[in-house]
Structure 1
């Protein structure tokens, strides 16, 4: 019997708030998860099934051998099988285990046409050229049920990983409930427990897969921010040290209020320029990401894309969706497929559009940096009136405050990213755990009806083909129905033709002899009178029995005290002389050309009253 299990998965659940959405929700991932067709392909992909099976111990199939049938089971209850290693030669080969006594068992299997059989101890590592394994007794195995276990026959089969992946991919079906983002998963297996375990594991592996992209985006963002913070920390430490050293060496305490106001304005412009430069660097980093080979598979750090630039966000989202779509279609198509070429063309078009946009954005940012730089230079010219020592301390303080403000900004971004990672939630939920559907196959009634119908159809087809292409006359009765001339009789098949060609002398009481006598009687009724009669035996093709019929009919008449003469007119392949063991020196051919007369051409045979005129030498 074949059993089935079923579970349901909800794509893109909105039951909880997702902090991550505020940071990189527009990078395309959320739109992707709702693509039901892609998710169905991912669930049924080779890698997804393979990763699921790696988490399970399905590499051993267990069977209980009964008197009439061998039943698959999920596991053995009284013995444990621990396979350490098996050579490929033993894959898919049944290995039988029988309990010999309380401490030993017999293990046997057939390999290369020979039965390998060994008696081994329980609980010890058994090593052979083809395997290393341990067969041990479970807690249920005890002296009370020992006699019962001796009568049992256990069997297990080690399956290769590729076989299991192909098996479960073929038995897995995924359907989408109409007007929902719910996927129904169903798998068929010989063991109901195994089907349920597989579906539950597949659902959890898929949920982990949906989290991978979110963690990747988060980690890329944090790494980028961390690199910026490390650089700024070094700059701030250097500026603080420089300020302390400068104040100590020049005995500077404070500056006047007016100079401080100019200085504050200068700090604000300098901070703005630093943020513009950071944006310029981020756009350059995004361009490097677009040109890099890794860009086809990896996710970009969300820090590359500023929140206020919605157009750039949309373009990056479109590019990311196309790349993910290409990666998923490579599961079913080769890189040379037209569909892959089409997606590559779209990716190239979108990438060019992003690069053009970033080029224009870079120019605009660069122009803004230049404008801010002009403002900074104007304020710096005003501050030149301040004594040099004070101007120097203002310059150091300005740089320090600019970098401190940028450092605080990046710390906030990093904190948001860490919070988002802690709040990452699966985009899919299991809304129905795997449950058994019971026996779903085979449909025994349908199988029986199909077999009966198929047998009848084959029988009718064979009969029709025989009727059309192989019609033949099988008995005298059919011959009489089809023929317009009298039918004298039929002769059964004679198997000893080569050893004894004259049936009437070799087997006078056989069915063949009786059939020949019947033909003789019928001929006598058709040819009344005492005058000599001439009977011609002929056929359309050679090898159809002219020699056998003529020689045996003549012999039957001779046995009835009739004087009979056989003339062999087959001048192409004469055989009468071979039937009676005569020489073919003279005969019909020599008589026709005048080399012998009629009387001297007659040759007697071993059958009384039967003479023969052979065909004579075959003409050239």
Structure 2
């Protein structure tokens, strides 16, 4: 607010008033305001910060009441008890608000920092997730180590199946050699399944039927040869059937061999692919671990920051000051200063001391004669009389006054001195009187003129 600037307005009691340079609110108090206050004029003295600080520093006092309980007492001295009470209560309130504001500011700064770090960590976490997703899309897997175990199991399973196929191939070779022989079973009562137990593993029913038929034809030919010669028609027909069956078996064996060989080749190719994949898995595992480490780190950090931020917000919601106001400022029933008994005692003591001092000073500085007794005591000359001061008129020169008022005190004193002089020098015939003093103006001429009248 500038000098000589006037701002006016109508406001309601209790309404906050905000004008340039000041904000205030007037409240009513029945003990302070009465009907006469409506006609009175009130004013505010607005001091600068330095004056306010000096005023507060001069009148405020803080005393430790109980060091163990960390209890302090705040007092304020002022000529107005209500003002002193309001100031102490306001100090408590402001200190409480300031402590809460400081804690809130510290929490806000921590929350801002946590928020910034959370955003940064979230961006890094998303980048790490994108890298892992790109790696998974490229390698079609999320778990390289698990894939390695899977590949090893697949290789073991395929190797087992491959060995089974090789055993079947070996069985087919044995069947090929056995078919070329003239006897499959050891006796006529034995079956092909009993003589060749592994034949069931081929899972080829037609082949088993043809071999069984070949075995029967061979034993039938042996029975016929025991009765007929080679040149007979019965033997020739059986030879022809036997050759046909062998050819059929050879074709079936060749087909099975080809199928088994294709399966073995397929197994070999799959084994090579799995072996190559297994050989590249360590590098992929290393790459995945390199991508997994920052992802796990950012994930843990992000979760930790979120939890920390939640803890700060919970703590901020329940923020309280680390001190407690035990009792508000009390309104004093009597002024603390001045203490009447003390003032009276000091006044009495001061009066006594000053009186004694004045007496001592006057005593030491006293150098005048104030009465006839002092004069008689201090001199050896006889005292003839005392002339009072003549103050009826102001005389520029000494003159005769005893003739004007013969009955006055001064005339009586002159006559008394004259009589005493007559008695002192009555025996002497020559009487000479000398009137003198230390300085001029002390009445030598006045006394001489009136004494000789």
Instruction: Output the TM-score relative to the length of structure 1.
Output: 0.40
Once residues 130 and 485 of structure 1 are traced to their aligned partners in structure 2, the CA distance between those partners, rounded to angstroms, is 86
Matched, 1:397 2:292: yes
* Separation in structure 1 between the aligned mates of residue 361 and residue 430 of structure 2, nearest angstrom: 48
Structure 1: 5+ residue stretches without partners: 1-126, 142-147, 261-382, 560-620
User: What SS does structure 1 have at the residue aligned with 2:382?
Assistant: coil
Distance in 2 of aligned mates of 1:507 and 1:220: 112
Change beyond 3 A, Cα 1:132–1:409? closer
Cα offset, 1:399, TM superposition = 1.9
Instruction: Answer whether contact 2:61 2:76 (CA < 8 A) is retained.
Output: yes
Change (3 A) 1:391 1:203: same
**2:326 alignment partner, one of 421, 431, 435:** 431
Partner secondary structure for residue 386 of structure 1:
helix
Aligned to 1:129: 4
Q: Secondary structure at the match of 1:256?
A: helix
Partner of 2:310: 415
Tell me the equivalent position of 1:534: 432
Q: Is the 8 A contact 1:252 1:390 kept in 2?
A: no
In structure 2, the CA distance between the partners of 1:469 and 1:136, relative to structure 1 (3 Å rule), is: farther
Match of 1:198 in 2: 87
Aligned pair in 2 of structure 1 residues 437, 479: CA closer, same or farther (>3 Å)?
same
2:365 corresponds to 1:469:
yes
Identify the match of residue 479 of structure 1 among 364, 367, 375: 375
- SS state at 2:324 partner: strand
Aligned 8 A contact 1:243 1:393 in 2: yes
* Structure with greater proportional helix content: 2
Give the deviation of 1:432 after TM superposition: 2.0
1:239 aligns with 2:128: yes
Asked if residue 181 in structure 1 is aligned to residue 79 in structure 2, the reply is no
What is the CA–CA distance in structure 2 between the aligned matches of 1:519 and 1:151, rounded to whole Å?
81
Query: Structure 2: how far apart are the matches of 1:228 and 1:417?
Result: 14
Residues 180, 390 of structure 1: CA spacing in aligned structure 2 closer, same or farther, 3 A cutoff? Answer: closer
> Would you say 1:556 and 2:445 are equivalent positions?
no
Deviation of 1:153 (Å): 5.9
Please name the residue that 2:400 is paired with: 504
Q: Distance in 2 between matches of 1:401 and 1:137?
A: 65
Partner of 2:350: 454
* Alignment map for 1:339-358 (pairs within 5 Å): none
Q: Which has the higher contact order (CA 8 A, sep 6+)?
A: 1
| Separation in 1, partners of 2:66, 2:108 | 35
Residue of structure 2 equivalent to 1:386: 281
Residue in structure 1 matched with residue 202 of structure 2 by the alignment: none
The Cα shift of 1:218 comes to 3.5
- TM-score when normalising by structure 2: 0.52
Larger strand proportion, structure 1 or 2? 1
RMSD (Å) for aligned C-alpha atoms:
4.5
Partner deviation per Cα, 1:335-368 (whole Å, 9 max, x = no partner): xxxxxxxxxxxxxxxxxxxxxxxxxxxxxxxxxx
1:176 offset after TM fit, Å? 0.3
Per the TM alignment, residue 462 of structure 1 is displaced from its structure 2 partner at its CA by 1.2
Distance (whole Å) between structure 2 residues aligned to residue 406 and residue 137 of structure 1:
57
Q: How many residues align?
A: 300
Q: How has the CA–CA distance of structure 1 residues 248 and 448 changed in structure 2, closer, same or farther, with 3 Å as cutoff?
A: same
Contact 1:247 1:253 survives alignment (8 Å):
yes
What secondary structure sits across from 2:83 in the alignment?
helix
Go from structure 1 to structure 2 and tell me whether the alpha carbon gap of 1:435 and 1:416 turns closer, same or farther (over 3 Å shift): same
Gaps of 5+ in 2: 15-27, 29-34, 150-277
CA contact (8 A) 1:243 1:396 kept: yes
Distance in 1 separating the partners of 2:304 and 2:314: 16
Separation in 2, partners of 1:522, 1:516: 10
Q: Give the distance between the partners of 1:536 and 1:449, measured in 2 at CA.
A: 59
Give the secondary-structure state (helix, strand or coil) at the position aligned to 1:428. Answer: coil
Deviations 1:62-96 (A, max 9, x none): xxxxxxxxxxxxxxxxxxxxxxxxxxxxxxxxxxx
Select 1:160's aligned residue among 44, 47, 54.
47
The DSSP-based 3-state class of the residue aligned with 2:281 is coil
Give the secondary structure class of the aligned counterpart of 1:487. Answer: coil
Query: How far 1:385 moved relative to its partner?
Result: 6.2
Structure 1 493/410 Cα, relative in aligned 2: closer, same or farther at 3 Å? farther
| C-alpha distance in structure 2 between counterparts of 1:137 and 1:414, whole Å | 46
Aligned to 2:194: none
Structure 2 distance, partners of 1:521, 1:164, is 85
Q: What is the rounded CA distance, in whole Å, between the counterparts of 1:157 and 1:522 in structure 2?
A: 83
2:340 aligned residue (444, 454, 461)? 444
The Cα shift of 1:556 comes to 2.2
Q: Distance in 1 between matches of 2:56 and 2:391?
A: 56
| CA contact 2:60–2:74 (8 Å) conserved in 1 | no
